Amino acid sequence: MKNKTDAKSQIQLDFGGVLGWVCGVDEVGRGPLAGPVIAAAVILDPNQPIVGLADSKILSAERRAELDIIIRERAYAYAIGRAEVDEIDELNILHATMLAMQRAVAGLRIVPDLAYIDGNRCPALPCRAEAIIKGDATVPAISAASIIAKVARDLEMVAWDARYPGYGLAQHKGYPTPTHLRALDALGVTPLHRRSFAPVRNRLK
């Protein structure tokens, strides 16, 4: 197990020269019509750089799976947070996304001093937070979080596909593709679908 004190002394933050733990945070699943929104928080080890970190959306599924294993093995800490479909419908997708991010950071075994958040908004956290637009492509810790989150959500949607066959969830992961919309017309709305999203809500009328 790594020495926590020594490790912390090696991580230099960019605010005032203060030493501390830095985590990257990203989410997956804001756009789909079905399933949870999942966020991840990752604190990388600067002594074990990971080659190939990038925005998860530009990586192949095979490469994401490989990096997911490496990140989990080498990171100082990582955690996944989520907001369920009923929470998305109750809170709206933006607030549910912030909730998932809060849960991810809260799940870290190390309390971070700074969180880099992908995008232009930060959730309320017990540490300093900085939003970075397109951070998943430029900040390694955010890239790692995007990969962890996407692999976790994609695997979950594949599992849901077995429970709700015919919707193509394993292929489109819940996004509003023509195949998915046709399936909604033919098969109806499942408990996995977000009723607050217009393409689903309109089919309930």
Of 27-31, 56-60, 83-87, 189-193, give the lowest mean pLDDT range: 56-60
Band (11; pLDDT cuts 50, 70, 90): very low
Extents of the domains making up the chain: 4-204
DSSP annotation of 176 reads: -
Q: From CA 145, how far away is CA 132, in angstroms rounded?
A: 14
**19: pLDDT strictly greater than 60:** no
Banded model confidence at residue 129, pLDDT cuts 50, 70, 90: very high
d(CA 192, CA 177): 16
Give the Cα separation of 130 and 105 in Å (integer). Answer: 14
- Say yes or no to pLDDT of 14 above 60: no
Give the three-class secondary structure for 161.
helix
Q: Which superfamily does 4-204 belong to?
A: Ribonuclease H-like superfamily/Ribonuclease H (3.30.420.10)
- CB of 81 closer than 8 Å to CB of 105: yes
